[in-house]
Chain A
Amino acid sequence: MRKVGIAASGLTKFTKEDISIESLMISSIKPIFDNTKNLTQKDIDVVLTSTNSNEKYLANIISELAGISPKTAHSVESLCNSGTNCIVSAFSYISSGLADVALVVGAEKSDSPGLVLDWDKSRGQYKHPIYWSSLFTSSHMRKYGTTMEDLAYVSTKNHKNALDNPYSCFDRSYSLEEVMSSKNLTDNIRLLDCSMPCNGSASILLASEEVIRNFTDEPIWLSGIGQKSISAGFTKNSELSSMQSTSSAASDAYLMSHTLPSDIDMAEVHDAFSICEIMALESLKLVKPGGGAVFVKELYETNNKKINPRGGLIGTGHPLGATGIAQTIETYQQLQGEAGKRQVEKAKTALVHNMSAAATSSTVLILKS
Chain B
Amino acid sequence: MNRFEQELKNNNLVCSECLKCNKIVWPPSDYCNKCFGDVTWRKISRNATLVEYSCKNGDCFCIAELEGQIRVIGTIQDKSDLKIGQSLILERCDYDGNEKFIFRAKRND
Binding site for B on A (CB under 8 A): 120-127, 131, 134-135, 137-139, 142, 185-188, 233-236, 240
- Partner of A240 from B26, B52, B55 at Cβ < 8 Å: B52
Query: Is the CB–CB distance between A235 and B54 below 8 Å?
Result: no
6 interchain pairs, CB-CB under 8 A: A120-B27, A121-B4, A122-B70, A122-B72, A122-B73, A139-B52
Q: Which 9 A-B pairs have the closest CB atoms?
A: A235-B71, A134-B54, A125-B98, A186-B56, A126-B73, A187-B55, A138-B54, A121-B27, A124-B99
Contact with A along B33-63 (1 / 0, CB 8 A): 0000000000000000001111110000101
Q: Whole-angstrom distance between the alpha carbons of A185 and B28 in the complex? A: 31
| 18 additional contacts (CB under 8 A) given A124-B98, A124-B99, A186-B55 | A121-B4, A122-B70, A122-B71, A122-B72, A122-B73, A123-B73, A123-B99, A124-B101, A125-B99, A126-B73, A135-B53, A139-B52, A185-B56, A186-B56, A233-B27, A234-B73, A235-B73, A240-B51
**B73 → A minimal CB distance (Å):** 4
Query: Is the CB–CB distance between B54 and A142 below 8 Å?
Result: no
Binding site for A on B (CB under 8 A): 4, 26-28, 51-56, 61, 63, 70-75, 84, 98-101
Query: Is the CB–CB distance between A124 and B72 below 8 Å?
Result: yes
**B100 → A minimal CB distance (Å):** 5
Q: Whole-angstrom distance between the alpha carbons of A185 and B63 in the complex? A: 18
Q: Whole-angstrom distance between the alpha carbons of A138 and B62 in the complex? A: 10
Collect the chain B residues with CB atoms within 8 Å of residue A234's CB. 73
Collect the chain A residues with CB atoms within 8 Å of residue B56's CB. 134, 185-187
Query: Is the CB–CB distance between A126 and B61 below 8 Å?
Result: yes
Query: Is the CB–CB distance between B73 and A124 below 8 Å?
Result: yes
Q: Whole-angstrom distance between the alpha carbons of A188 and B56 in the complex? A: 9
Closest residue of A by beta carbon distance from B100 = A125
Q: Whole-angstrom distance between the alpha carbons of A125 and B56 in the complex? A: 13
Closest residue of A by beta carbon distance from B27 = A121
Q: Whole-angstrom distance between the alpha carbons of A137 and B55 in the complex? A: 11
Q: Whole-angstrom distance between the alpha carbons of A137 and B56 in the complex? A: 13
Closest residue of B by beta carbon distance from A241 = B52
**B6 → A minimal CB distance (Å):** 13
Query: Is the CB–CB distance between B99 and A236 below 8 Å?
Result: no
Collect the chain B residues with CB atoms within 8 Å of residue A188's CB. 54
**A60 → B minimal CB distance (Å):** 33
Closest residue of B by beta carbon distance from A233 = B27
Q: Whole-angstrom distance between the alpha carbons of A123 and B75 in the complex? A: 11
Query: Is the CB–CB distance between B73 and A138 below 8 Å?
Result: no
| Known contacts A121-B99, A124-B74, A124-B101; A138 and B27 CB within 8 A of each other | no
Q: Whole-angstrom distance between the alpha carbons of A321 and B101 in the complex? A: 32
Collect the chain A residues with CB atoms within 8 Å of residue B74's CB. 124, 126
Query: Is the CB–CB distance between A187 and B54 below 8 Å?
Result: yes
Query: Is the CB–CB distance between A235 and B63 below 8 Å?
Result: yes
| Known contacts A122-B27, A122-B71, A235-B72; A135 and B100 CB within 8 A of each other | no
Q: Whole-angstrom distance between the alpha carbons of A217 and B100 in the complex? A: 58
Q: Whole-angstrom distance between the alpha carbons of A122 and B99 in the complex? A: 8
Collect the chain B residues with CB atoms within 8 Å of residue A124's CB. 72-74, 98-101
Collect the chain B residues with CB atoms within 8 Å of residue A135's CB. 52-54, 61, 63, 73
Q: Whole-angstrom distance between the alpha carbons of A131 and B73 in the complex? A: 9
Q: Whole-angstrom distance between the alpha carbons of A187 and B27 in the complex? A: 29
